Structure formats: C-alpha cells, structure tokens
Chains A and B, each alone.
Chain A
C-alpha cells in the first residue's frame, strides 16, 4: 500500500541475522595498521564479513560499525552502494554473469535465459536448496572471452549454452587455478 509507511523505528532481533565471531573481528582489526583511519577499513571488513557469513547481515553491519567507531547507518550506506555485497542470505555458489555490450553481442542473453531456466531463479534470487544464487553485473573485464561469468571466485570464459550443463555439474567450478591469498578471507574454523 503506497500510503502505509515502512517502520524503521524498530527491528526484530531475529531479522538482524547472524553476527561476527571473535576471530572475524580480530581479522578486521588486523587491517587497522594498513590505513591511517579506521573508517578506511570498512571495505575490507565487509569483504571479510561477507566471506564469513555469506552475506552482510544487519547485525554484522552493527558490529563492524562498533569496531570501526562509525554510526551503523554509515555502514549501511556503503553496503547498499556497492553491488558486490548481498544483504540477504545467498547460495553456496553465486553466478555473476556479465551483461555488458560485448557479452550481449556474443550471446550473453541466451546464456542468461538458459541459467535462469535451468536453476529456476531470477536475478538476485537463490535456489530453494541453498546451492545457487544468480546475479548479473556490468563488464567483468574479460571481453575477449565473451560471454563470461564468475562462479564465486573463478572466472569462466567463453561460456556457451551447450557448456552450461557441464559447468554447473562440475564440483570444482568455483576453484581457482592459481595460488590464493587469504588476505580477505574470513578465518576458517579449526577442526
């Protein structure tokens, strides 16, 4: 109803989502030495938090705000500005498909329709089993291999509709070939 106002004054505790563990907070604090202000740690902190929880929950935003001595609204401001951060739970694997001009000229629309049909989800949605999420993004910077898409960290190049079944079924479709840096990774739980 357009005349009913959305209530921002209160939020239920269960809507805040999961928070950050102490190890994650420690990891965020380790960035302080790299920047002259605490506020500059915000983007790295959000990357770490998204890696830890899968998305950036409201509670995580509040905890990051406390760590960085910012108002919670400032964190929300930054999270909503960038497209990389999700504010709702997403699947284990996120497909990011490029929608820019080159990828569209080289068949990107057909790939998009095929993905959406195969997984039965739309943009920014997650499959019911929690495995896949899908979103499109502007130019991923791999135009010579158009159409291209990211599954989590791995960049898949020259994706054709006939390749999709193979790619989606491959259990290593999100593993990168090169040596990884864990700078923005959330600390893995031991054991």
Chain B
C-alpha cells in the first residue's frame, strides 16, 4: 500500500490509482471535471493541477517544482509528496473556474442540474464572485440527440466524459466532439441518435446541466428529493441504485456505486423501468371471493381465513395438496416467511419457484458491464430458500405440471411482476384446477377469475428486504415510499401470517434466518464512493 504525502498529511492509498483518486478517497475536496475512475484519463479540464516535489536538476535534493501537474494523470507512487494547499494551485483553480464561466449561460434558475452542479459548487469554493467578461458569449443550440436525452450545448464544458463513456463503456461511439476551439460542441451523426442500453448514464457523468434526461426534465428540484439506497429489480444482476423521491413519489433512479456488480453505471432498463409502480390499476385492498365475486376484506381478517383454508387443505396427507409459488420478485425475507407459514401447516406442501421472465440473451459490454436476460432480481435467493426448505420443492414448470392434474386443493401464488405475466394458457389452465387459490399480485390479471383471495402486493420501492443476485451476492434494499393508501407491505403481512408479532424489519428477519441459512448473517454493502467524487 503506497504512502504519499498530500498537504503535509501522510495518506495510505490503494496501489495503481492516480493522486487525485487517492486524495478523494482520503476525503479531500479536490475540484475536477474530466476525471472519472471508470473512464480513461484525458487531463483536459486542468482543474486538478497540483504542485509536486521533484529532485532539483542541479542539487538533486527534493524541492517544489515550479510547474503544475495534473493530479489525475500522476500515479500515486510510494514516497510522493504533493500539495494542493498553495497559492499557485489556488490561483490556477480560480483562473480555470473563471474560464469555464466565461461562455456559460446564466441558466441556474431553469437548469435541472442546479443543486448538484459542480460549476455551482466549485465556483462557490474556488472561483470568483463576478465576471470580468463584457463581450458577447458563445451561444450554442439545444439538440435533441436521442429518444431519451437532450443536449443543451451552451452549458457544456467539454469535459468529454460523455464521449468517453459512450465510446469505452457502451462501445457504440455515438457521441463525438465536432468543430474545434471555442466552437467545439458535442454532437451525434444526424440520423444515428444516442440510443443504446446504457445511454442514461451520460446524464449522470455530465458534471453540468448539458445532458438532460427527458424523463426528468423540469420535473423536480434535486434539493426537494431524498435518496434511498435500493437494488434494481429489473434484472438478476442486482444493480444497486439510489431512488430519489419525495411525498409525490419516485422522481428518478440513479446509480449507486458497487465495486462487484455494476460499478458506476446502470442500464436504461433499471433507470427508467419503474413507472409501473404508478399505474392506476394497482391493487390496494385484499379481496375475498363471496358468492362468485371478489369483495374487499379487512386486513386483520385475512390471516385467519388463510390459516383455516390451508389447514383444511392440508388435512390427510400432511399438506401434499398444498402448493406455494414464490415469485423471484419477492425479497428473500418475505419468501422465507411465507415458507415458514406453509411448512408449519403443511410439511409436505410443494413449494415452487415462480415464473422467471427471460427476454433475449445476456448482453456484455466492453469493459464488462452485463445486462442479464433474466428480468427478475431474486431467482437465486428463492432457490437458496427452497434448498433449505424441507420437503417437496420444484420449479415453475414442475408446479404447473402437478397443478394441471388437480394436485392442489389450496395454493398461494405470488406474482408481483411489472408486466403481464399470465400470458401462457398453461398457467390459467393449471391454476383453474386449484381449489383455494390465493393470489398476491400488483395488478389485476387473468387469474382473478379463479382466485379465492386476492392480496395486493407492494412494489419494491415500498418494501424492504434483500435480493440475492445471479452471483450469490445478498444485497439489501430499503423502503423509499410509503405504501399505497390501504396497502400493507408484503413483508409486514407475511410476518404476521407466519405468526410473529410486531413490526417487520428485514434485519430482524435475517437474524432469524441466519440460523438455518448462514449466508444471510452478512449482507453485501458496496463501498461508499468518496464524498467529493462525482
């Protein structure tokens, strides 16, 4: 672990990183634009320049060189001594900030980036309070460069992060710099818009409000949003995210750094694939079928109804006629609680993994980002729970095969998918043969007609728990929103159903699980990015 000295302070840093990254990881606020740990180094913004001690050409002793070096380009070698706390460095920062603001439009009142804009932050800390330029500013047009992104060229500071991202990480190279000098702009080839599965990340890497997401345009000010740590349920990779929300609901989703899964990026699916939680046809009240019609029922009454019906169905053969389908959209804790409930009543019940939606093939991008074909977050988590559940366990096809023979007198089927999932006739045919069908889902589906009890599910933003990703990492997600009016989140309901009292907390349930499932004693929390990195 090399040791370097920054501003007189000795810092131990990871090998192979530039001085800038070492300083940021030590908590120092060094201004920078073009440097990003996930992209190649260009050292073009000239904001991170520092002073370094070098051997004097004549005497050979170490002294401060009369030259500034970019911190993002200098690797942190053992014994290096640098400083950011000097007149030359501070002056350079002030001068470069002045140059940045020369042609920048005064758009803060209408710019989406206000509140998380590094021009604002660095100007306040390192820049000047007033402008000395009385000339006409360089005005650039606004460009519609893709189906989901806008480019407000006049705000661009040409850090080229977006160009490098699209070239290196996404591999498509749609964004480029055109023209040169002060007339330089970012642009796409006309007719070849910015349209790849990772393009939403350019809005995050842009340090100013030049690249904007059409989805979030003019919707909300960022200081009115709270960020919650979560995991995206859109595919089995388990990309970690921040959900930005307030009382109005979710406004946007941003990546959360994860050194083992998605690093700094998320796919567009994860970024924009949450709108389904706002659909108007979401279920919010439990219903029980009375005289061939589903009628609303109180939450407090449901557990007894379920216990009674399942106990009835379990009579005789220790519950072999009872089935449970655990959706891979459920959290591990919820699945475990439901399994406990059923095993208490029906030791021989068939517990099955639910429908696993698969779309296309796995896509791997240059530099290693993967979008999985499996579009559910917790198949492995459910499979792990199934392994440890005694008795009959099977997959969805196996469950359907038995159901179609009329094997189940009672079944608890959990859905919770963002899209229509009851598309195959085999599902409806099989579950039509089930006696007492309890359906827990987000939206109405073709199974409603045969459900005896219809339970509303909560979306992942309204629940807390963990997902196990395709590589076995157990990642916790926190509750961001309050559930819909009248909705009790799955975890709380299943907690009570399993016979426990009090508030469902995912941590408490994991402690209980850890006895029989040791992996759940520890969850994986990714490294925090340095406070001043962006």
* Touch test A–B (CB under 8 Å): yes
- A residues adjacent to B (C-beta < 8 A): 2-11, 15-16, 58, 61-62, 70-77, 80-81
The answer to whether A74 and B143 touch across the interface, beta carbons within 8 angstroms, is no
CB contact between A80 and one of B139, B141, B150, B179 (< 8 Å): that residue: B179
In the complex, 28 of the A-B residue pairs with CB atoms within 8 angstroms, ordered by the A residue number, are: A2-B142, A3-B142, A5-B141, A5-B143, A5-B144, A6-B141, A8-B144, A8-B146, A8-B190, A8-B193, A10-B190, A10-B191, A11-B190, A11-B191, A16-B191, A58-B189, A61-B189, A71-B173, A71-B192, A72-B189, A73-B173, A73-B176, A73-B192, A76-B176, A76-B189, A77-B176, A77-B177, A81-B179
Q: A5-B144, A9-B146, A81-B179 are in contact. Are A71 and B174 (CB under 8 A)?
A: yes
CB contact between A76 and one of B141, B142, B143, B178 (< 8 Å): that residue: B178
Residues of B within 8 A of A3 (CB): 142
Task: Report if B180 contacts A (CB, 8 A).
Answer: yes
Determine how close the nearest CB of chain B comes to the CB of A101; give it in whole angstroms. 19
Task: Report if B203 contacts A (CB, 8 A).
Answer: no
The answer to whether B179 and A8 touch across the interface, beta carbons within 8 angstroms, is no
The answer to whether A72 and B178 touch across the interface, beta carbons within 8 angstroms, is no
CB contact between A6 and one of B143, B146, B180, B189 (< 8 Å): that residue: B143
Interface centre among B150, B172, B187 (most CB of A within 10 A): B187
Task: Report if B468 contacts A (CB, 8 A).
Answer: no
The answer to whether A76 and B139 touch across the interface, beta carbons within 8 angstroms, is no
Determine how close the nearest CB of chain A comes to the CB of B151; give it in whole angstroms. 8
The answer to whether B141 and A77 touch across the interface, beta carbons within 8 angstroms, is no
Residues of B within 8 A of A80 (CB): 178-180
The answer to whether B173 and A74 touch across the interface, beta carbons within 8 angstroms, is yes
Residue of A nearest to B172 (CB): A71
CB contact between B188 and one of A16, A73, A75 (< 8 Å): that residue: A73
The answer to whether B147 and A9 touch across the interface, beta carbons within 8 angstroms, is yes
The answer to whether A58 and B190 touch across the interface, beta carbons within 8 angstroms, is yes
Q: A6-B142, A9-B147 are in contact. Are A73 and B189 (CB under 8 A)?
A: yes
Interface size class of B (residues with CB under 8 A): 20 to 34
Residues of A within 8 A of B191 (CB): 8-11, 16, 58
Residues of B within 8 A of A16 (CB): 191
Task: Report if B453 contacts A (CB, 8 A).
Answer: no
The answer to whether B145 and A9 touch across the interface, beta carbons within 8 angstroms, is yes
Task: Report if B210 contacts A (CB, 8 A).
Answer: no
Q: A8-B188, A10-B191 are in contact. Are A2 and B141 (CB under 8 A)?
A: yes
The answer to whether B144 and A77 touch across the interface, beta carbons within 8 angstroms, is no
Residue of A nearest to B110 (CB): A3
Residue of B nearest to A70 (CB): B173
Task: Report if B208 contacts A (CB, 8 A).
Answer: no
- B residues adjacent to A (C-beta < 8 A): 139, 141-147, 150, 172-180, 187-193
Residues of A within 8 A of B147 (CB): 9
Q: A71-B172, A73-B189, A77-B177 are in contact. List 12 more A-B contacts (CB 8 A).
A: A6-B141, A6-B142, A8-B143, A8-B145, A58-B190, A70-B173, A71-B173, A72-B192, A74-B173, A76-B178, A77-B176, A77-B178
A17 to B247, CA, bound (A): 53
Residue of A nearest to B173 (CB): A71
A77 to B146, CA, bound (A): 18
Residues of A within 8 A of B177 (CB): 77
A75 to B150, CA, bound (A): 22
A72 to B174, CA, bound (A): 8
Residue of B nearest to A58 (CB): B190
The answer to whether A6 and B144 touch across the interface, beta carbons within 8 angstroms, is yes
Determine how close the nearest CB of chain A comes to the CB of B183; give it in whole angstroms. 9
A162 to B173, CA, bound (A): 52
Residues of A within 8 A of B189 (CB): 8, 58, 61-62, 71-73, 75-76
**Nearest 10 interchain pairs by C-beta:** A11-B191, A11-B190, A77-B176, A71-B173, A80-B178, A5-B144, A5-B142, A72-B189, A9-B193, A73-B189
Residues of B within 8 A of A58 (CB): 189-191
Determine how close the nearest CB of chain A comes to the CB of B203; give it in whole angstroms. 15
A72 to B190, CA, bound (A): 9
A186 to B32, CA, bound (A): 47
Determine how close the nearest CB of chain B comes to the CB of A1; give it in whole angstroms. 10
A74 to B175, CA, bound (A): 9
A15 to B189, CA, bound (A): 13
Residues of A within 8 A of B146 (CB): 8-9
Residue of A nearest to B154 (CB): A2
Interface centre among A2, A11, A71 (most CB of B within 10 A): A71
The answer to whether B172 and A81 touch across the interface, beta carbons within 8 angstroms, is no
Determine how close the nearest CB of chain A comes to the CB of B171; give it in whole angstroms. 10
Residues of A within 8 A of B180 (CB): 80-81
A8 to B150, CA, bound (A): 10
A6 to B189, CA, bound (A): 12
A71 to B143, CA, bound (A): 20
A11 to B192, CA, bound (A): 9
Determine how close the nearest CB of chain A comes to the CB of B96; give it in whole angstroms. 24
Residues of B within 8 A of A6 (CB): 141-144
Residues of B within 8 A of A7 (CB): 144
Residue of B nearest to A10 (CB): B191
A6 to B187, CA, bound (A): 11
A77 to B176, CA, bound (A): 6
The answer to whether A2 and B139 touch across the interface, beta carbons within 8 angstroms, is yes
Residues of A within 8 A of B150 (CB): 5
Determine how close the nearest CB of chain A comes to the CB of B92; give it in whole angstroms. 28
Interface centre among A5, A9, A15, A81 (most CB of B within 10 A): A9
A141 to B146, CA, bound (A): 43
Q: A5-B142, A9-B147 are in contact. Are A76 and B193 (CB under 8 A)?
A: no
A8 to B190, CA, bound (A): 5
Residues of B within 8 A of A10 (CB): 190-191
Interface centre among A5, A11, A15 (most CB of B within 10 A): A5
